[in-house]
Amino acid sequence: MTRPLPSRAAACLVALLVRGLATALAAGLMAGLATGPAAGLIGGPAAAAAVGAVPTARGEDDAPLRVVMDTLSPSVIPRRGEIIITGEVTNTSEVTWTDLQVYMFTSPSPIGGRSDLAAAAASDPTTDVGERLAQEGQFSAIGDLGPGESTPYAVSVNRRDLDITEEPGVYWIGVHILGAGDDGRDLVADGRARSFVPMMERDAPRAQVAVTVPVREDVRRDTDSTLLELRRWQRSFAEGRLERLLSFGASSGRPLTWIVDPAVLEAAASVAADNPPLSVADDGTGPDVEGEGSPDPAQPTQDPGTGSSPDPSPGQIPTESPSDPTGTEDGDGEPSAEAQDAQAWLDALGEQSERSQVMAVPYGDLDVAAVTINRLPKVLARATRLGAEVTQALGIDSDPIIAPPTGYLPGLSMALLDDDAPVLISDDAMPDAVSPTLTRQNGVDVVLVDSAASSGGPGSTGRTDPLALRQRILAEAALKALSGGADPTDQTDQTDDPLIVSLPEGWDPGADWQQADFFGGLDVPWLQQVDLRSVLARGPGPVDTTLPVYPLAERRAHIPVANLLATRDLVRTGSTYAELL
């Protein structure tokens, strides 16, 4: 008989430990188990000296025009040349706005340090933070907009016309839209968008940034191990979030790190096989039994069509069923278009693993905190092993990592972990840390994600849009370099502490992510992009024995111990069953 792939057979068991599914057992253990994750100018003393030349703005909810910044080129203030902002403006009111004009604005002075930048990012989006550039030739006319209508815009200003100091740092930049409504025209912005932009000197100190891209998704399977919500998965691999996320990461010409849940990769493999059920039927590839039809052991069995051995590799994914339960397989037996899309996605991720680092969390985004606190190390070990089996079977090179989706892990869990996998958590969990890389007393390496740099831009449009994220990362990296940069004359000297950035959980770059030129904008002379492997290769960080912050809400979200114990028993049962096949 065919022995099912261990990861497929045990997936439904380990899946119970995923955060947020604490009631899975009570609801019916085998009836649909799941996996899944869970005033004035703002800025500092320098910025406060600037005087805005704009009247008091409308409240954000009162603004009749919604403005989006799609591009900012270049991504830093240049020494010379044009600065161009493009985007789209939409009339969200019920009246027609006429004679619309687009103005660029900048703050005359830098915002200040990193704490000032954090305050700026959290400020009211309608707060005036800079002066409009309103000389002839510095603004653009975009005509009229009726209710619900949208139109693109572009505004360009030469560097020499920016009314800013020459001081390195991070400045405000954005656009104001002015027009005439039912009450006529005034000097109050009818729509606005804003962002950050660094200005660095030619010999600026250098900084390092490591960008991590999480690949996590809810995975739900039926009692026969087929994927539930199949259409959602098919769309995601073809043209949805997961396809966009992979294409986004693949556009980077620099190192980055993928943080993947192997359950998502196995879901892709299921879609690529047109979602077959788990089969334990004899397909002729298991161990032979003595008797009629047994081949001569001296002669290898070969496939008559290919002349090759039909034995699958130990990690073959998945075990196919002779029928197509989803109705998506083509009539001639060829994979469906949706299956081909999923396979293309897996192939692309495999290519990424050859040029970028892939790190795998324990299978099913295991609730590591709950498992370790309740002293179930074998469950963690099994989930880690299952994850490694999946990635290996799919030809994806990966390294293990513990990366809780919320960014928190209790101190007891860290103390009980082995030192064979680093821990990636938020710096909010260890606010007094002296370095973004630490070592616990048991030898476990801890890498701290910079929560500020990962939180995105200042609004008033999407804070985690690709452009907003890019500019926040650049701003944080610039200030980090300026506050403790390396010797710019020494090509081997880098800033002491890299900036670790994690894109938001469940993040979708959007259909138009290419416009932002995310990675292209990070390619500036004073910023080096690295992966977590390079960060960890720097050697052990300072030994840290402090107790991490672990919010009460995290504790309340633990998988209940009854579920953990029941799952442990089920794992044993499943292992015994697999051995009998």
Mean pLDDT within 84-96 = 96
Residue 179: which CATH number?
2.60.40.10
pLDDT of 10 over the 70 cut: no
Note the maximum CA span of the chain: 95
Residues 116 and 235 in one domain: no
Do the domain assignments include residue 579? no
Mean pLDDT within 362-385 = 94
Structure tokens at 468: 């907003």
Do the domain assignments include residue 413? yes
Residues 453 and 536 in one domain: yes
Do the domain assignments include residue 34? no
Per-residue pLDDT tens over the stretch 148-198: 999 999 999 999 999 898 899 999 999 999 999 888 888 889 999 999 999
Q: Which domain holds residue 239?
A: 208-281+318-323+334-554
pLDDT of residue 267: 97
> Comparing C-alpha atoms, which of 436, 370, 412, 407 is closest to residue 547?
412
State which H helix or E strand residue 369 sits in: helix 368-373
For residue 492, what pLDDT band results from cuts at 50, 70 and 90? very low
pLDDT of residue 460: 74
For residue 275, what pLDDT band results from cuts at 50, 70 and 90? very high
HSE toward the beta carbon, residue 76, CA cutoff 13 A:
26
Residues 403 and 498 in one domain: yes
Do the domain assignments include residue 18? no
For residue 488, what pLDDT band results from cuts at 50, 70 and 90? very low
Mean pLDDT within 528-533 = 95
> In this structure, how many other beta carbons lie within 10 angstroms of the beta carbon of residue 371?
26
Do the domain assignments include residue 32? no
Domain count, the chain: 2
Residues 71 and 144 in one domain: yes
Contact 126, 460 (CB under 8 A): yes
Mean pLDDT within 258-268 = 97
Residues 185 and 223 in one domain: no
Residues 212 and 66 in one domain: no
Residues 132 and 82 in one domain: yes
Per-residue pLDDT tens over the stretch 390-441: 999 999 999 999 999 999 999 999 999 998 999 999 999 999 998 999 999 9
Do the domain assignments include residue 385? yes
CA distance 450 to 471: 15
Contact 562, 25 (CB under 8 A): yes
CA distance 234 to 271: 7
Residues 182 and 119 in one domain: yes
> Comparing C-alpha atoms, which of 258, 274, 262, 125 is closest to residue 194?
125
**In a 3-state reduction of DSSP, which class is residue 248?**
helix
Residue 229: which CATH number?
3.20.110.10
CA distance 237 to 63: 37
| pTM for the structure as a whole | 0.82
Mean pLDDT within 562-570 = 86
For residue 458, what pLDDT band results from cuts at 50, 70 and 90? very high
CA distance 364 to 17: 8
- Minimum mean pLDDT among 32-41, 87-96, 222-231: which range? 32-41
> Comparing C-alpha atoms, which of 479, 447, 244 is closest to residue 357?
447
Structure tokens at 191: 């729509």
Contact 389, 7 (CB under 8 A): yes
pLDDT of residue 499: 96
Do the domain assignments include residue 234? yes
- Minimum mean pLDDT among 28-37, 209-218, 453-462, 555-564: which range? 28-37
Give the residue from 199, 224, 246 where a domain finishes.
199
State which H helix or E strand residue 569 sits in: helix 561-580
Mean pLDDT within 276-284 = 75
- Residue in the structure block whose two tokens are 């004009």: 101
Indicate the residue type of 296.
Answer: D
Give the residue from 156, 176, 199 where a domain finishes.
199
Residues 194 and 219 in one domain: no
CA distance 450 to 477: 11
Mean pLDDT within 67-74 = 96
For residue 549, what pLDDT band results from cuts at 50, 70 and 90? very high
pLDDT of 339 over the 50 cut: yes
Residues 412 and 448 in one domain: yes
- Which one has a higher pLDDT value, 276 or 7? 276
For residue 568, what pLDDT band results from cuts at 50, 70 and 90? confident
> Comparing C-alpha atoms, which of 478, 502, 436 is closest to residue 216?
502
Tell me how far CA of residue 95 lies from CA of 62, 98, 181, 448, in angstroms: 13, 10, 7, 49
CA distance 267 to 220: 9
Do the domain assignments include residue 569? no
State which H helix or E strand residue 537 sits in: helix 532-537
Residues 162 and 87 in one domain: yes
Helix and strand numbers (H, E) in the chain are 16, 20
Q: What is the chain's mean pLDDT, rounded?
A: 82
CA distance 184 to 46: 36
Residues 107 and 177 in one domain: yes
Mean pLDDT within 526-533 = 95
Helix axes 241-250, 230-238, angle to 10 degrees: 30
